[in-house]
C-alpha cells in the first residue's frame, strides 16, 4: 500500500510539472508581435493598414479576423489588414480606435488600431510639459499638459520597481526612495506637485490612449543594479505595451543600446531610436534602428548628420533644445523632432512659419 501511495504521488508530481511547463510554453508561444503598423488612414476607402509578422519568410500563415465590432476591416488575399473597399475611417466620428481579434494559425492576437490624425509638428515635450505649468516632470499632469499644448510627442523616463512595475522618474532616487529597491506601494506614496503622486507607465498608457493627437517616447533608463535588470525593464515594458494594446502610440528610446535591441528582438515591429553618441548612423541602421536621437552638440559641427540619416531612411531627433536660435537652426536642417523643456516656444515658432 505504501509503495502504491509513493508511486501515485510521483506520478501526480510528474503530471503537475509537465502541465506547468506546458502552460509556461503556451504562454510564451502566444506572444505575437502583431502588425507592422497600427495607424489607420482616414477618409480613404479600402486603405491598407499593415502586415502581420511571420514565423519565417517562407512560412504560410492563415490569418483571419475573429472579432471586429466596427465592421470596417478585412484581411486581403496576401494576409494584410486593410479597410473594406466600401469602408473608411472618418475622423469626425467619436470613435477613433478599434479593437480587433486576429486569428493567426489558430492563435488569437488582440490589437488596437487607431485613426491617424496624430500631430506632426516635430515637438517632443521633454518629460512632459512641466517647466511653465506648475506640474512635476514625468507626472500625469505634465503628460496632460503636453497633450493640451498640442505637442506631437511627449518623452517620459521609466525605471523598474523592486516588484517589476515600470515607474516614471528621471532619477533612480526620488524623494529619498530608490525606485529599483522599493515596491510599487511605497513608490506610489511619493507626493509630487499639485497633489499628484509618482505615476506608473500603465497609468500613462491609459491616458495617452484616450486621444489620437499626441504620442509618447518611452525612455528606458539603464539600471544601477545590473545590465540584466535593464533588459528586464525593456521586456516588461514591451509586455505592458502589448497587454494595453498601445503600440500605435509608443516608440522607444534609451542610452542603453542593448535594452533597445531587446525591445526589437521581442517585438520586431517596435521602433527605437538611440540616445548615445558612441555609434555611427550606419551602425545603428545595420541594427535596424528606426532613428537616431542625438544631443544637440552633435549637430554644431556636422550639418550632414540629418541628410546622412535620412538617406538611410532613419528619423532624426535632437535633445534637449530650449533656445529659439538653436531650434531654428535644427528646423532649417530638416530634423524630424526636437525635444525641449519649453514646447510652447517651439510650437509658436512653427506656427508662425506656417502662417
Q: State residue 30's pLDDT score.
A: 57
User: Which residues sit opposite 74 in a β-bridge?
Assistant: 82
Residue 305's pLDDT band (boundaries 50, 70, 90)? very high
Q: Which residue has the higher pLDDT, 236 or 134?
A: 236
Closest Cα to residue 113, out of 95, 126, 125, 127? 95
Positive/negative CA dihedral, 338, 343, 346, 350: positive
Instruction: Indicate if the pLDDT at residue 56 is higher than 90.
Output: no
Stretch 43-63: mean pLDDT: 88
- Return all residues near 109 (Cβ < 8 A) that are at least 6 apart: 32, 34, 101, 102
Stretch 96-113: mean pLDDT: 95
Residue whose entry in the numeric block shows the C-alpha cell 501526480: 12
Q: What is the pLDDT of residues 227-282, one digit of tens each?
A: 999 999 999 999 999 999 999 999 999 999 999 999 999 999 999 999 999 999 99
Q: State residue 355's pLDDT score.
A: 75
Q: What is the pTM of this model?
A: 0.91
Q: State residue 74's pLDDT score.
A: 98
80 vs 240: CA distance, rounded Å: 25
Q: How many of the other CB atoms lie within 10 Å of CB of 315?
A: 18
CB-side neighbour CA atoms (13 Å) of 284: 32
Stretch 70-91: mean pLDDT: 96
Q: What is the pLDDT of residues 8-30, one digit of tens each?
A: 333 433 333 344 333 333 333 45
In the chain, % of residues over pLDDT 90? 83
Q: State residue 347's pLDDT score.
A: 98
Low-confidence winner among 15-19, 46-50, 269-273, 293-297 (lowest mean pLDDT): 15-19
Cβ-in-10-Å burial (0-12, 13-18, 19+) of 103 comes to middle
- Residue 203's φ and ψ, nearest 5 degrees, are -65, -40
8 vs 202: CA distance, rounded Å: 45
Q: What is the pLDDT of residues 168-216, one digit of tens each?
A: 999 999 999 999 999 999 999 999 988 999 999 999 999 999 999 999 9
Q: State residue 300's pLDDT score.
A: 86
Q: State residue 2's pLDDT score.
A: 40
Length of the chain, please? 355
Instruction: Indicate if the pLDDT at residue 80 is higher than 80.
Output: yes
Instruction: Indicate if the pLDDT at residue 93 is higher than 90.
Output: no
Amino acid at each position: 500500500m505504501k509503495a502504491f501511495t509513493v508511486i501515485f504521488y510521483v506520478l501526480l508530481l510528474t503530471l503537475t510539472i509537465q502541465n506547468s511547463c506546458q502552460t509556461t510554453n503556451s504562454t510564451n508561444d502566444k506572444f505575437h508581435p502583431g502588425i507592422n503598423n497600427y495607424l489607420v488612414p482616414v477618409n480613404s476607402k479600402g486603405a491598407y493598414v499593415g502586415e502581420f509578422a511571420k514565423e519565417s519568410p517562407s512560412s504560410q500563415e492563415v490569418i483571419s479576423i475573429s472579432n471586429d465590432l466596427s465592421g470596417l476591416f478585412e484581411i486581403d488575399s496576401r494576409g494584410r489588414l486593410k479597410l473594406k473597399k466600401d469602408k473608411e475611417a472618418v475622423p469626425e466620428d467619436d470613435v477613433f480606435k478599434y479593437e480587433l481579434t486576429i486569428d493567426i494559425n489558430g492563435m488569437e492576437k488582440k490589437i488596437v488600431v487607431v485613426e491617424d490624425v496624430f500631430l506632426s509638428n516635430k515637438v517632443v515635450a521633454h518629460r512632459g510639459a512641466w517647466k511653465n505649468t506648475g506640474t512635476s516632470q514625468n507626472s500625469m499632469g505634465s503628460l496632460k499638459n503636453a497633450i493640451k499644448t498640442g505637442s506631437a510627442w511627449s518623452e517620459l523616463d521609466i525605471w523598474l520597481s523592486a516588484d517589476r512595475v515600470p515607474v516614471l522618474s528621471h532619477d533612480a532616487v526620488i524623494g529619498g526612495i530608490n525606485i529599483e529597491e522599493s515596491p510599487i506601494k511605497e513608490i506610489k506614496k511619493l507626493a509630487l506637485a499639485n497633489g499628484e503622486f509618482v505615476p506608473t507607465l500603465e497609468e500613462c498608457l491609459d491616458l495617452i490612449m484616450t486621444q489620437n493627437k499626441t504620442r509618447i517616447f518611452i525612455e528606458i533608463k539603464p539600471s544601477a543594479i545590473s545590465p540584466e535588470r535593464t533588459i528586464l525593464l525593456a521586456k516588461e515594458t514591451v509586455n505592458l505595451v502589448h497587454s494595453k494594446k498601445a503600440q500605435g502610440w509608443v516608440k522607444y528610446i534609451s542610452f542603453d543600446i542593448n535594452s533597445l535591441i531587446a525591445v526589437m528582438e521581442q517585438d520586431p515591429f517596435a521602433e527605437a531610436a538611440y540616445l548615445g553618441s558612441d555609434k555611427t548612423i550606419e551602425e545603428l541602421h545595420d541594427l535596424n534602428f528606426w532613428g537616431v536621437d542625438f544631443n544637440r552638440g552633435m549637430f554644431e559641427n556636422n550639418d550632414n548628420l540629418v541628410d546622412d540619416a535620412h538617406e538611410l531612411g532613419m528619423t532624426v531627433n535632437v535633445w534637449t533644445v530650449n533656445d529659439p536660435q538653436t531650434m531654428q537652426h535644427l528646423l532649417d536642417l530638416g530634423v524630424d523632432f526636437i525635444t525641449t523643456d519649453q514646447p510652447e516656444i517651439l510650437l509658436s515658432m512653427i506656427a508662425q512659419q506656417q502662417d
